[in-house]
Structure 1
Amino acid sequence: MTTQQQRTQQQSPRRAAIAAFVRFVVCGGGVGLASSGALVLLDGRMPLVVANALITVVSTLLATELHGRISFRSDRGGWGVHLQSALTVAVSYAFTTGALLALHAVQSAPSALTEQTVYLTSSALAGLGRFAVLRAVVYADRRTPAPAAAAPVAKPAPAAKPVLRKVIAGNTAVAIAA
């Protein structure tokens, strides 16, 4: 295998990961922005922690479906995937809620812009962690990898045949190996 072929094989998984991450950001970002708008709409109608919990559950169901089908292009599905994804969301929920509660502890009445900035930033950080776990665990390729192709074995060069030279010494010809 040439060095160029090795580089191409190494870049393919990297490119696939980058493409999956871009799809993850588009799907998750869209759901996240919709969640952010829903949080604004629910503000004042119910406690912030309850609103965040409700939004987290609904957006998780939607995002899990989108990530499975679009982001990771996986044929895995069902409640098992939703439960695994829910574990990552539980951590995300704790993280975003903690960030919002910390903001309210520092500022008793933050502006909507400040609250949204904290919410979206903490959601983005939680999303990075979710991507890593979803890609490596939940939607990981479960197929047994094909054995790596063995490098071709070089055949040993054939032994050099001795070159015979005819040396004439007097009237007698003698063959000697050179």
Structure 2
Amino acid sequence: MLMFGRMEAYKGLEVLCDAMEIFLREGGEGTLHIAGAGPELDRLEGRFRSLPSVDVTNRFLPAAEIIDKMGACDGLVLPYLSATQSGVLSAAFANGRFVVASRVGGIVDVVQDGVNGLLVEPNDAGSLARALSRLSGDPGLRERLRAGALETARARLDWSKIAAKMISEYQ
């Protein structure tokens, strides 16, 4: 799994750290990659680095490097505490990657639980850890969610389709 971007408090990085501690304590297997920069990662970097199978890149990454990191993972984790929308979510789907995301803001307008991602309650490390465990133990689920994410990108997030819909509604 991958989490990337500007690491601010609303992104729920501390919830992710708590969830990874639960996940690993309960025998979960899988790697978490965290890439980006910001005050929350600065504050929590030591805790993340103390966890096995967590890789931290604490710096701004150019787009090409983010695309490479996305290509190397199954999905992205968005444990946001609040959000109106997410460019990270759109990027994930465009690259055929599902998300595990908090049930907040505009995220629930795009993520269909069990179709293109998994939704968890915000600020609930246990819920997030359970979702990660479910994914860890079910490669078929990961593949179905990836297919659903790509289909969502093609059907709902394609700019030509969005523009055509807007034009038809304003004519």
TM-score (norm 2): 0.27
Structure with higher strand content: 2
Question: Larger relative CO (CA 8 A, sep 6+): 1 or 2?
Answer: 2
Structure with higher helix content: 1
